[in-house]
Amino acid sequence: MYEPILSKPKSFFETYKEKTGDQTITHYCPGCGHGIVHKYVASALDELNLTDRAIFVSPVGCSVFGYYYFNTGNLQAAHGRAPAVATGSKRVNPDSIVISYQGDGDLAAIGTAEIIHAANRGELITVIFINNAIYGMTGGQMAPTTLVGQKTTTTPRGRDPHNEGYPVKMCELISQLNAPIYVERVALNNAANRAKAKRAIKKALKLQSERKGFTFVEVLSQCPTGWKVDAPDALKWIEEKMIPYYPVKVFKDTSNEAEPYPEAKEIISGEKVFEILGIKRDEKKEETIKYEIPEKYKNPRIKIAGFGGQGVLLLGVALAQVGMMEGYNVTWIPSYGPEMRGGTANCSVNISDSLIGSPVVEKPTILVAMNKPSMEKFEKDMVSGGILFYNTAMIDTEPQRDDIIKVPVPATKIASDLGNIRVGNMVMLGAIIEKTKLLPLETVKSGFEYFISRKNLIPLNEKAVEAGMNYIKENNL
Amino acid sequence: MSKELLKGNYAVIKGALLAGCVAYFGYPITPASEIAEAAAYYFPLAGRTFVQAESEIASINMVYGAAGAGVRCMTASSGPGISLKQEGISYIAGSELPCVIVDVMRGGPGLGNIAPEQGDYHQVVKGGGHGNYKCAVYAPNSAQEMCDLTYKAFETAEKYRNPVFVLADGFIGQMMEQVEFGKLDPVTPKKLDWGVHGTADSKNLINSIYLDPDELEAHNRKLQEKYKKMEENEAMFETYKTEDADIVLIGYGITSRILRTVVDEARKAGIKAGLFRPITLWPLAKDELNKLKNSAKKFFVVEMSNGQLVEDIRLVVEGKIPVEFHGRMGGNVPTVDEVLEITKKLS
């Protein structure tokens, strides 16, 4: 009887069934470093008993077929996007062990943003970065890590810093960030360094399994084909050319101090979701109209306009909210919606007993003009017989039309007397409901909680509405 | 009260949570930002994931990673962001992953502006990314449908393992309307068997690479079969007064709301007008269009674009009926009067 002391890690497939051709060997070139690093990853997963929890993200590059080999969950990512794919996977699989395995073009060129930000968020993933200073898969073009003077098919006269810049040092960059807990650069050039590489990969995965934080291992790896040298010379090249520029060392290790991340929260589902969304679900049938709007003002198409800060949008929301509470179909749209950042503003409101077609109020039946430019702009659009509420505290001219009902209200003045000019909009709301009986005061009052976000201001707003109503009554308007 | 006065953009997130969406990955952009803001607020409360990504590209690839677990997940953006996401969408389609992508359209091309437009039709309905793929596209025209069609989009995405779009415009996103939530049942999130969950029984492969031309062709044929089934089963539309219509107005999103009013106004003026509103832009309800082609005398397509849906309408009717077009661009919304005037001239 004998026991094998050297065998293929269990985290590898026995045979590579996804692969075409010989399914017992890898697709990597002779002398390539990928196979070695794959084995370190697989061995570490074995030794840490993490195989079943592992998700391997294959990049674009020579290791695009990483999933041929790893008997784990496998995701193949778009070029440079592996850290983002890993983020998405880890966030919804919080107990998994996610490995983003990337080459230098993938990680340090096209995917620079993804790696920096995955690191900066402190994603609970492990990134294995293969730096071989060249684009291997596409046939030996310059990589972001290609050394100065190094000849490649796209730097035929050697990398010129004035044209291509300098080789990017990723460990140095990543280790500057707060979130990563372990950043090390290792090399495959000799047995001692390979042993360190194996340890670094295992440590990174172990830290991930302990939920300690983001871990990053850069491996200086040989590409005899891309470098156009034989395998022994490739190892020498790492030692003589790469290591002097890319020092092999631990750049950051705060793993001892790092507190494990809290466990992922439990997903809440079922009826509790309604509670979270603030939806009061009732089984009642379709709500019918509760309050009859007087015939004269039925299905109003309302335009409200004024300066930014006069609360014209909120006045519109108030009318829509209360209209909805009375069982009507309503729409509210801001004039230029998202562009609304100060300046003049207007909004369109419809309150209708039937389905509302165009929500855009082109010809208002009710116009509320809180300032002079608004009246000048929209008075002419009103339908004949429409009703105009205008803020005489801010408008010193008279409306031009004779075929409309005119209701002058010094809204801003009344608000100011109440101690806050910002409630001029609610004064106007009071004037509107008193004059037109469009909506009942009681419902306006119960609507406040929906459209006034600062609850302590509700009494003031209520006073303003009543003041607007009183103004209409007292002046027989 | 199960009714709520809500912006379309907020309604999307409420619909998504009820649909069992567990992860939102996005990047802010006007006029879609309220979707991300609502997700940032509500998702963590329900133990679900919200990540503001560093880019649109990262966000769609996070969606790829999460969708690869066989869970419901989503992203949202506006035109410029959707352009950036197209690479990822192609991968998601190629790998047959379900997800929901919301596009709240703004004015283009380039930086354009932030006013509502419908110029993304081509990039969304026709694919936009590389390769032979299709996405189902729902076009809501109210805040209610922003909720309901987002909910529906998750079902369709999962049913076909395919990315599904909700294509809205800035108007539909920014408009507040009553939204009724009483009818939607909350879906309990689950991880589907084909996904990669980081467990012994989910050692699956999510992949879109097929080196062998025959294998890739077979994969493509399988995708086309799936799209055919979607065409047969998923088309949705709405008609209004088309039974006796001589002229059928055609539009989607906010435009369809304006056209509905135009139809009423035209009828008052003695013109027999009707409205065909595609609710799914792909697949398009070809059968209904072909029926209308025989009963009406003229089609009149109105879009807030240079004329994109109209191309597909013309393809369906194959020259058998005149198809007129009116488009506004730059963020201008066609007025009822302007469309009514043209309708009168065309009648």
Contacts of residue B4, Cβ cutoff 8 Å, sequence gap at least 6 = A278, A279, B178, B179, B181
pLDDT of B324 over the 60 cut = yes
Size of the A and B interface in Cβ pairs below 8 Å: 257
pLDDT of A212 over the 50 cut = yes
The pLDDT value recorded for residue A6 is 81
pLDDT of A341 over the 60 cut = no
Among residues A301, A324, A298, the alpha carbon closest in space to that of A444 is found at: A324
> Chain A partners of B99 at a C-beta cutoff of 8 Å?
none
pLDDT of A246 over the 50 cut = yes
The pLDDT value recorded for residue B14 is 97
Across the strands, what pairs with A76?
Answer: A58
How far is residue A198's CA from residue A201's CA, in Å, rounded to a whole number?
A: 5
Among residues B65, B61, B62, B208, the alpha carbon closest in space to that of A55 is found at: B65
How far is residue A72's CA from residue A168's CA, in Å, rounded to a whole number?
A: 31
Among residues A251, A118, A113, the alpha carbon closest in space to that of A182 is found at: A251
Q: How far is B269 from chain A (nearest CA, A)?
A: 17
Among residues A213, A144, A227, A143, the alpha carbon closest in space to that of A183 is found at: A213
Across the strands, what pairs with A369?
Answer: A305, A390
Mean pLDDT computed over A388-399: 97
SS3 B41: helix
- If one compares A150 and A278, the residue with the highest pLDDT of the two is A150
Inspect the interface and report whether the beta carbons of B2 and A280 lie closer than 8 Å: yes
Tokens of B280: 């799914």
Cα dihedral angle (B49, B55, B58, B60), rounded to 10 degrees? 70
- Are both A248 and A328 inside the same structural domain? no
Q: Is residue A417 part of a domain?
A: yes
CA distances from A412 to A303, A346, A347 (A): 18, 17, 19
Q: Is residue A271 part of a domain?
A: no
SS3 B280: strand
Which residue is closest to B39 within chain A, CA to CA? A277
- Are both A299 and A355 inside the same structural domain? yes
Residue A13: phi and psi, rounded to 5, are -70, 150
Q: Where are the beta strands (DSSP E) in A229-298?
A: 250-253
Assign A286 a pLDDT band (cuts: 50, 70, 90).
Answer: low
pLDDT tens, position by position, B67-84: 999 999 999 999 999 999
DSSP result, B184-211 = PPPPPP---TTS--SSGGG--EE-----
Assign B244 a pLDDT band (cuts: 50, 70, 90).
Answer: very high
> Chain A partners of B275 at a C-beta cutoff of 8 Å?
none
* Cβ atoms of residues B32 and B9 within 8 Å: yes
Mean pLDDT computed over B238-257: 98
Inspect the interface and report whether the beta carbons of A87 and B51 lie closer than 8 Å: yes
**Residue A91 forms contact with B (CB below 8 Å):** yes
Q: Is residue A351 part of a domain?
A: yes
**Residue A358 forms contact with B (CB below 8 Å):** yes
Q: Is residue A12 part of a domain?
A: no
The amino acid at A305: A
Which residue is closest to B265 within chain A, CA to CA? A357
The pLDDT value recorded for residue A337 is 44
Angle at A11 between CA A7 and CA A16, to 5 degrees: 85
Q: Where are the beta strands (DSSP E) in A67-121?
A: 73-76, 97-103
Query: Which DSSP category does A283 fall into?
Result: -
Inspect the interface and report whether the beta carbons of A92 and B1 lie closer than 8 Å: no
How far is residue A205's CA from residue A50's CA, in Å, rounded to a whole number?
A: 9
Full residue range of the structural domain in which residue A202 is found:
34-253
The pLDDT value recorded for residue A336 is 59
* All domains in chain B, ordered by first residue: 3-233 (3.40.50.970), 237-346 (3.40.50.920)
End residue of a domain, out of A195, A224, A253: A253
Please, what is the average pLDDT of chain B?
97
> Chain B partners of A339 at a C-beta cutoff of 8 Å?
30, 114-115
Q: How many domains does chain A have?
A: 2
Sign of CA dihedral A147, A150, A155, A157: positive
- Are both A451 and A398 inside the same structural domain? yes
- Are both A249 and A301 inside the same structural domain? no
Query: Domain containing A435 — which CATH number?
Result: 3.40.920.10
Among residues B8, B3, B325, B316, the alpha carbon closest in space to that of B167 is found at: B8
Residue matched to tokens 């590579």: A16
* Ramachandran bin of A61, using left for φ above 0, alpha for ψ from -120 to 50, beta for the remaining angles: left
pLDDT of A305 over the 90 cut = yes
Q: Is residue A354 part of a domain?
A: yes
For chain B, positions 270-329, list CB contacts with chain A under 8 A: none
- Are both A235 and A369 inside the same structural domain? no
* Cβ atoms of residues B252 and B281 within 8 Å: yes
Contacts of residue A454, Cβ cutoff 8 Å, sequence gap at least 6 = none
Among residues B37, B29, B43, the alpha carbon closest in space to that of B7 is found at: B37
Residue A372 exposed, middle or buried by CB count within 10 Å (0-12, 13-18, 19+):
middle
Q: Is residue A266 part of a domain?
A: no
Which residue is closest to B261 within chain A, CA to CA? A357
Query: Which DSSP category does B3 fall into?
Result: E
CA distances from A55 to A101, A107, A368 (A): 11, 18, 61
Mean pLDDT computed over A41-48: 98
Assign B291 a pLDDT band (cuts: 50, 70, 90).
Answer: very high
Please, what is the average pLDDT of chain A?
95
* Cβ atoms of residues B63 and B73 within 8 Å: yes
* Cβ atoms of residues A135 and A59 within 8 Å: no
CB atoms under 10 Å from CB of B298, counted, come to 17
Residue B282: phi and psi, rounded to 5, are -140, 125
**Which residue, among A358, A363, A380, would best test binding to B if mutated, counting the most B CBs under 10 Å from its CB?**
A358
> For A175-214, where are the alpha helices, taking DSSP H only?
191-209
Mean pLDDT computed over A255-275: 94
End residue of a domain, out of A198, A224, A253: A253
The amino acid at A131: N
Mean pLDDT computed over A164-186: 98
Mean pLDDT computed over A74-98: 98
> Chain B partners of A53 at a C-beta cutoff of 8 Å?
198-199
**Residue B114 forms contact with A (CB below 8 Å):** yes
- Are both A237 and A303 inside the same structural domain? no
- Are both A301 and A430 inside the same structural domain? yes
Cα A248 to its chain centre, rounded Å, is: 36
- Are both A300 and A232 inside the same structural domain? no
pLDDT tens, position by position, B4-51: 999 999 999 999 999 999 999 999 999 999 999 999 999 999 999 999
Mean pLDDT computed over B219-241: 98
The pLDDT value recorded for residue A325 is 95
**Residue A449 forms contact with B (CB below 8 Å):** no
Among residues B242, B244, B238, B257, the alpha carbon closest in space to that of B304 is found at: B257
**Residue B186 forms contact with A (CB below 8 Å):** yes
SS3 A234: helix
> Chain A partners of B66 at a C-beta cutoff of 8 Å?
88-89, 91-92
**Residue A87 forms contact with B (CB below 8 Å):** yes
The pLDDT value recorded for residue A335 is 79
Query: Which DSSP category does A152 fall into?
Result: B
Mean pLDDT computed over A294-323: 95
Cα A412 to its chain centre, rounded Å, is: 41
How far is residue A469's CA from residue A437's CA, in Å, rounded to a whole number?
A: 10
- Are both A97 and A243 inside the same structural domain? yes
Q: How far is A178 from chain B (nearest CA, A)?
A: 17
* Cβ atoms of residues A231 and A222 within 8 Å: yes
**Residue B94 forms contact with A (CB below 8 Å):** no
Evaluate the omega torsion of the peptide bond into residue B189 and state whether it is cis, within 30 degrees of 0: no
Residue A10: phi and psi, rounded to 5, are -70, -20
The pLDDT value recorded for residue A288 is 85
* Cβ atoms of residues A89 and A72 within 8 Å: no
- Are both A348 and A451 inside the same structural domain? yes
How far is residue B71's CA from residue B195's CA, in Å, rounded to a whole number?
A: 8
**Residue A89 forms contact with B (CB below 8 Å):** yes
Q: Is residue A445 part of a domain?
A: yes
For chain B, positions 20-59, list CB contacts with chain A under 8 A: 20, 22-23, 25, 30-31, 33, 42, 44-49, 51, 53-55, 57-59
Which residue in B17, B30, B49 is closest to A338 by CB distance? B30
**Residue B88 forms contact with A (CB below 8 Å):** yes
The pLDDT value recorded for residue B142 is 98
Q: Is residue A186 part of a domain?
A: yes
Assign B179 a pLDDT band (cuts: 50, 70, 90).
Answer: very high
CB atoms under 10 Å from CB of A352, counted, come to 17
**Residue A276 forms contact with B (CB below 8 Å):** yes
**Residue A347 forms contact with B (CB below 8 Å):** no
Query: Domain containing A222 — which CATH number?
Result: 3.40.50.970
How far is residue A7's CA from residue A294's CA, in Å, rounded to a whole number?
A: 88
For chain B, positions 66-85, list CB contacts with chain A under 8 A: 66-69, 71, 73
